[in-house]
């Protein structure tokens, strides 16, 4: 009898990046100028719809629990600050209608990698809330309250959130890989993208390392800020926009320096607000950075100044408040007073002012002109100023580690 060899079932085709957009009409770039956030949101919705459709073809439960929730999570919040930096750098460097489709795709990828960072960050910090809503793993935990697991295994909700973050990163990488670009531009975009991904992870690790070891190094705190916030949030999005427009090396370097200075200023401002800010304005509980034991530049500077003057009582007060979950009311007030007594908050303010001026000088060096250059300059200035509205509308609540 002849053996019968079963013909294997055709598997689902591997996912491909969402379909290329249709040719854009004349004036498309000017239309995006009028509403960058709206344009990015529309492109994000289209891309997410196609990615969710493929996920649904794999498994309905996976699609509902992870892919659809991930798409909703990404679409339902965020200031789109990274896409805005990308866009205005592109336009200030001469980007035209021909660049719109590629720029929007890379902008969407930035939002998806940000989702990856936030979902994973909330797992690491065990944060139940993000953008005023339950965090991703908190949503899973609410859906599966019994979350069965074997002894020694991680909680189901947190494990699911790790996978969701990985999926968001995969989606982001697929989008960047699928953008139709000239070979030289494509090579530069991929170089920047690879660099940014590793910097983001390095910065997050240094943040965790500083908390775990109780670091008091001001230099290490600044390095963490640079990798985790300044480059990922401002400098690299600017570099992506400049590269898409084909900017020369001198312009790209000047933009990078301007973005790095503004991004560091942004995080130093957030460190101050984390201790002294009004929760109604910042959107996060005051004192959270102290309670979590974050190795901020503010705390490192205060410790160094207290040690330099032999202020033993202040050193002990700062040590006691760091990582204290019960830091509220009088204890928080005492911690604030200890910080003020060292002069560290005022010195941080001075450093922020210096960084903002340096950012402006670097931007002038770039030699950019026109309305788009003005919009870019305004965005860089605004990123380092105190928030005047709830954090959900676009302050550091959208940064990994921010609340």
The four Cα atoms 369, 373, 374, 375 give a dihedral, to 10 degrees, of 160
pLDDT tens-digit series, residues 77-131: 888 999 999 999 999 999 999 999 999 999 999 999 999 999 999 998 888 878 7
Nearest-5° Cα angle at 252, 251 to 253:
90
- Residue 374 falls within a domain, yes or no? yes
> Above pLDDT 70, what percent of the chain?
86
DSSP 18: P
Spatial neighbors of 375 by CB under 8 A, at least 6 apart, are: 33, 88, 91, 92
Q: How far is CA 397 from CA 158, 172, 330, in A?
A: 21, 21, 26
| pLDDT score at 320 | 87
Query: Tell me, what's the pLDDT at 51?
Result: 96
Query: In the prediction, which pLDDT does 73 show?
Result: 94
Q: Which residues pair with 129 in a beta bridge?
A: 134
14 domain residue, yes or no = no
Query: In the chain, what percentage of residues exceed pLDDT 90?
Result: 67
Tell me whether residue 403 is in a domain: no
| Residue 5 belongs to a domain | no
pLDDT tens digits, residue range 1-51? 444 434 344 445 555 556 555 556 668 999 999 999 999 999 999 999 999
* Residue 161 belongs to domain with CATH number: 1.10.600.10
pLDDT tens figures, 144-181: 887 655 555 568 999 999 999 999 999 999 999 999 99
When pLDDT is averaged across residues 348-358 and rounded to a whole number, the result is 95
Residue 361: pLDDT over 90? yes
pLDDT band at 242 (very low <50, low <70, confident <90, very high): very high
Residue 232 to residue 226: CA distance in whole angstroms = 8
Helices then strands, each counted (H, E), the chain: 19, 2
Residue 24 falls inside a structural domain: no
Question: What SS3 class is residue 201?
Answer: helix
Q: How far out from the chain centre does Cα 262 lie?
A: 15
CB contact at 8 A, 365 and 249: no
Q: Is residue 13 one of the residues assigned to a domain?
A: no
**How much is the pLDDT for 78?**
85
User: How far is residue 350 CA from its own chain's centroid?
Assistant: 25
| Residue 351 reports pLDDT greater than 80 | yes
Q: What confidence category does residue 397 fall into, taking pLDDT thresholds of 50, 70 and 90?
A: very low
Q: Residue 288: give the domain boundaries.
A: 34-144+155-398
* pLDDT one-digit tens code per residue, 306-345: 999 999 999 998 888 887 877 788 888 888 999 999 999 9
User: What is residue 20's DSSP assignment?
Assistant: P
pTM of the model: 0.87
Q: Say whether 129 sits in a helix, a strand or coil.
A: strand
pLDDT value, residue 146:
74
Query: Is residue 8, in this structure, part of any structural domain at all?
Result: no
Tokens of 322: 């760091």
Per the structure, the count of domains in the chain is 1
Would you say residue 17 lies in a domain?
no
Residues 6+ apart with CB under 8 A from 397: 130, 131, 282, 283, 284, 391, 403
């Amino acid at each position: 009898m002849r053996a019968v060899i079963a013909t294997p079932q055709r598997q689902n085709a591997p996912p491909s990046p969402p379909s290329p957009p249709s040719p854009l009409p004349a004036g498309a770039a000017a239309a995006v100028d009028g509403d960058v956030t709206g344009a990015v949101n529309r492109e994000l919705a289209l891309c997410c719809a196609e990615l969710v459709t493929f996920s649904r073809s794999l498994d309905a439960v996976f699609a509902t629990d992870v892919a659809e929730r991930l798409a909703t999570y990404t679409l339902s919040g965020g200031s789109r600050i990274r896409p805005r930096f990308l866009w205005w750098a592109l336009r200030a460097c001469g980007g035209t209608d021909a660049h719109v489709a590629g720029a929007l795709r890379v902008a969407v990828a930035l939002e998806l990698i940000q989702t990856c960072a936030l979902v994973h960050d909330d797992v690491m910090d065990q944060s139940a809330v993000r953008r005023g809503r339950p965090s991703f793993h908190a949503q899973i935990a609410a859906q599966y309250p019994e979350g069965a697991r074997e002894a020694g295994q991680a909680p189901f909700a947190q494990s699911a959130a790790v996978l969701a973050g990985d999926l968001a990163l995969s989606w982001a990488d697929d989008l960047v890989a699928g953008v139709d670009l000239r070979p030289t531009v494509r090579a530069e975009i991929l170089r920047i993208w690879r660099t940014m991904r590793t910097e983001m992870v390095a910065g997050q690790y240094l943040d965790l390392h500083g908390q775990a070891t109780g670091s008091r190094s001001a230099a290490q705190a600044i390095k963490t800020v640079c990798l985790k916030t300044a480059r990922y949030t401002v400098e690299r999005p600017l570099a992506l926009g400049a590269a898409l427009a084909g900017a020369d090396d001198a312009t790209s370097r000047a933009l990078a320096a301007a973005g790095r200075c503004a991004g560091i200023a942004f995080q130093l401002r957030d460190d101050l607000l984390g201790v002294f800010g009004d929760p109604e304005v910042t959107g996060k509980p005051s004192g959270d950075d102290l309670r979590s034991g974050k190795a901020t530049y503010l705390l490192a500077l205060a410790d160094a100044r207290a040690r330099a003057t032999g202020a033993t009582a202040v050193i002990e007060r700062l040590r006691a408040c760091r990582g204290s979950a019960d830091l509220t009311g009088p204890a928080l007030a005492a911690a604030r007073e200890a910080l003020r007594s060292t002069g560290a908050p005022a010195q941080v303010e001075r450093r922020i002012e210096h960084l903002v001026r340096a950012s402006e000088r670097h931007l002038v060096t770039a030699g950019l002109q026109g309305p788009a250059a003005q919009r870019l300059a305004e965005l860089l200035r605004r990123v380092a100023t105190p928030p005047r509205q709830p954090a959900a509308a676009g302050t550091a609540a959208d940064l990994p580690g921010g609340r």
